[in-house]
Amino acid sequence: MAELKEVMITTDDIKTDEYLVNMGPQHPSTHGVLRLLVQLEGEIVHNVQPHIGYIHSGIEKMTESLSYPQIGHLTDRMDYLSAHMNNEAVALCVENALQIEVPDRVKYIRTIMAELSRLASHQLWWCVMGMDMGALTTFFYGLRDREEILDIFEETCGARLTVNYSIPGGLMFDIHPNFQRDVKAFIKKFRTKLPEYDRLLSGNVIFTERTKGVGFLSREDAIAYGVTGPTARASGFACDLRKHQPYSAYSKVNFNEVLSDVGDTYARYQVRIQEMWESMNIIEQLIDNIPEGDYAMKMKGVIKLPEGEFYQRVESARGEFGVFIVSDGKKNPYRVKFRSPGFSNLFAINHIAKGWKIADLVAIMSTFDLVIPDIDR
């Protein structure tokens, strides 16, 4: 028996080399052309190095040769799922620099539109999250409901995704006569559809086993890495700018900031699901009270900002989106910097995914809700 013990080999005795695997740029679960250089030992992730730049579009540089109203349509193309918030950030930044106050109607419509696009963004995140976990059904259910929001956008803004609706000084169009009716119908319908999401995925045993207790991010680390948005709120970091630094009409509505102090993948999932309920609450409070008035202010043909530096941040669907404009008094900005939430969130992935299996890396990345043009702007 003693002789047999000597020849028995345990897994500790097998020495394997660490090896590098490229996850992406064409990997379907990276949601775009993101390349992760993953250092693996067997299945265990030791290091994740994100390599970005595959779809760098140079938007920040391009804006230096554009006038202020023209910047808006480029920000649509960065984080295309929260195009409204990006437009709003640029518009608010220019309005703050010019020290003008837009009419209340504009503020209300902007807030409703931002919440609608947050809903659409979270719906898409939910269905893609399910798909990453191997549940293809969710993909169709999420897209089905998102389609109705996009139809509302199409009717009012004229575009479904790259809307370019908020411009400095107001809005591109007034709301469509059917807008309020359609939004109310959608909210009523979606309130019955969202519990369906829970039944399909949130309680599913395969899903919970793969997400509960996987990929922890502590509050301190979230702050240290500059993580914002639902990803940080799942770690207990109260960073909702709608609550703590209200802009547009957010100061006029009652809503809860969704927080969780668990910080794992399932908490990040639940925070986004709860945010959908909150978004619907916000829209319901505003939709009947849109004040009468102008939908846009009369602006000069050529908008020139005073000399100086201006910063405006808004809460996009992924976190804090900031616009920093350096103006030298001309009609083009001297320099524009976009603080995109995806960029900061992505680089916390190495910290979170260390020590977990490669299949968990997919789940963790999915709850980050990455949009690659937002990272690679």
Partner 1 sequence: MKSVIAYITEILKGIWTLLTGMRVTAKYFFTPWKHITQQYPENRQTLKIAERFRGEVIMPHDENNEHKCTGCGICEINCPNGSIEIISKSVMTEEGKKRRAIDQHIYHLGMCTFCNLCIKACPTGAIVMGQKFEHAVWDRTSLTKVLNQPGSKIMEGVKD
Which positions lie near partner 1, rule CB under 8 A? 66, 69-70, 72-74, 77, 137, 144, 147, 151, 154-159, 162, 164, 167, 172-173, 176, 196, 199-201, 203-206, 208, 301
Q: How far is the CB of 199 from partner 1 (least distance, A)?
A: 5
Q: How far is the CB of 126 from partner 1 (least distance, A)?
A: 14
Give, in order, the Cα–Cα distances in Å from 355 to each of 23, 121, 231, 333, 349.
17, 30, 20, 45, 12
- Closest to partner 1 by CB, 214 vs 349, is 214
Please answer whether residues 93 and 104 qualify as being in contact, where contact means their C-beta atoms are separated by less than 8 angstroms. Answer: no
- Closest to partner 1 by CB, 5 vs 199, is 199
> Distance between CA atoms of 368 and 346, rounded to whole angstroms?
7
> Distance between CA atoms of 118 and 229, rounded to whole angstroms?
12
- Closest to partner 1 by CB, 73 vs 337, is 73
φ/ψ region of 238 (left if φ > 0, alpha if ψ in -120 to 50, else beta) reads: beta
> Distance between CA atoms of 57 and 260, rounded to whole angstroms?
36
Please answer whether residues 72 and 87 qualify as being in contact, where contact means their C-beta atoms are separated by less than 8 angstroms. Answer: yes
Three-class DSSP category at 23: strand
Q: How far is the CB of 272 from partner 1 (least distance, A)?
A: 19
Q: How far is the CB of 73 from partner 1 (least distance, A)?
A: 4
Torsional sign, CA 130, 85, 115, 181 = negative
- Closest to partner 1 by CB, 85 vs 172, is 172
Q: How far is the CB of 149 from partner 1 (least distance, A)?
A: 14
Q: How far is the CB of 96 from partner 1 (least distance, A)?
A: 21
- Closest to partner 1 by CB, 208 vs 281, is 208
- Closest to partner 1 by CB, 36 vs 59, is 59
Q: In what order do the strands lie in the sheet with 308-315?
A: 308-315, 320-327, 335-339
Q: Compute the chain's Rg from CA coordinates.
A: 22
